[in-house]
Amino acid sequence: MLAVPWFVIRDLDGGTLSQRQIGVAYALTAYGIWGVLPLYLKALRAVPALELVAHRIVWAALLLLLLVAVTGQWGWLRQVRERPRLAWLFVASAAGLSINWLTYIWAVNVDRVVDASLGYFINPLFSVVLGVLVLKERLRVGQWAAVALASAGVLWLTVQAGQPPWIGLTLATSFGLYGLFRKTASIDALGGLTLETWLLLPLAGGYLLYLSLTQQSSWATGGPIQDALLVAAGPITAVPLLAFAAGARRIPLSLVGILQYLGPSLQLGLGVLVFHEPLPVEKLFGFALIWAALVVYTVEGLSFRAPPASA
């Protein structure tokens, strides 16, 4: 089980917090970090997006290996040996994760934080569609209404811009597929993320070595603060993913669905209020349709009561 070193696990009366309270704390940590991530990426704007992704992979891989060694959670290695198909699932999930990282970092670097936030507003509904198409899940009427509203929002943004909102769609698609691959791979969060980063490590490490040999590397050229920020990519990458997994195990899915909007809401606020990106009325209307879809989806999920099982 993932430890909780950064949370106080006793309340003011001296009693132990419930698993639900700890789960909420984990989830808020994950979504809070993801929400303010543009501030970190802006501080590393001088580092090209692909190089920064490589640093995220390398430093996260080393940190995760250390965590696995300290906790002794090596069981996932046996699972992969016994079921080689799992390795291919994690190759696919690692590819989805790296595409997501690269797209997001590039979007922040070119002042498209607002467009990037759209992807994470869309993502829950895209995951619903994947559930229907791939896992053959059935949607209720309210869920279909939410998907229709979100589709109308995307269509509106496409018409207004003269092209699909490809940044948001790429982020939603890559992270949605990542979630699908992880759902079908029965390895715990720490082991799975460790495997993913180590599968990507040869490519990332080789690319950083190439940049160093060709004197194109940002390492040791931007000062000690930049180098420290690059090393910090390890915990900034690993901690929210592990916290999210730990939180999702402790709280209902409906509550996860509500809390997950914290991340893109913070990103949107940063894009408009801090980075002064434009949000014209035409684009705002498309966002409003998607927000309406999320409200319908959330309310429907909270009000739904499964029929009692037959005797």
Residue 9's pLDDT band, with cuts at 50, 70 and 90, is: very low
Query: Among residues 168, 184, 83, which one has the least CA distance to residue 126?
Result: 168
* Average pLDDT for 188-208: 92
pLDDT tens column, 110-124: 999 999 998 888 887
Helices (H), the chain: 19-43, 49-71, 75-82, 85-109, 113-133, 141-161, 166-183, 189-213, 224-231, 233-250, 253-259, 262-269, 281-303
CA–CA distance, 145 with 141 (Å, rounded to integer)? 6
8-12, 68-72, 129-133: which is most confident: 68-72
Confidence at residue 60, expressed as pLDDT on a 0 to 100 scale: 95
Write down how long the chain is.
311
Q: Which residue has the tokens 């409906």?
A: 254
**Band (305; pLDDT cuts 50, 70, 90):** low
Least reliable range by pLDDT among 14-18, 55-59, 198-202? 14-18
Q: What is the mean pLDDT of residues 95-103?
A: 93
Q: Max CA-CA distance within the chain?
A: 71
For 117-151, what is each residue's pLDDT tens digit?
988 888 877 877 887 788 777 878 888 888 888 88
Of 100 and 298, the one with more pLDDT: 100
What band does 8 get if pLDDT is binned at 50, 70 and 90?
Answer: very low
**Tally of CA atoms within 13 A in the half-sphere of 298 that contains its CB:** 15
In a 13 Å sphere around the CA of 243, the CA atoms on its Cβ side amount to: 23
**CB within 8 A of 200, min separation 6: which ones?**
57, 61, 94, 98
Q: What is the mean pLDDT of the chain?
A: 84
Q: Give ∠ CA 69-71-77 in degrees, rounded to 5.
A: 60
Give the C-alpha separation, 152 to 158, whole Å. 10
pLDDT in tens, 231-250: 999 999 999 988 887 787 77
Instruction: With a cut of 70, say whether residue 7 has pLDDT above it.
Output: no
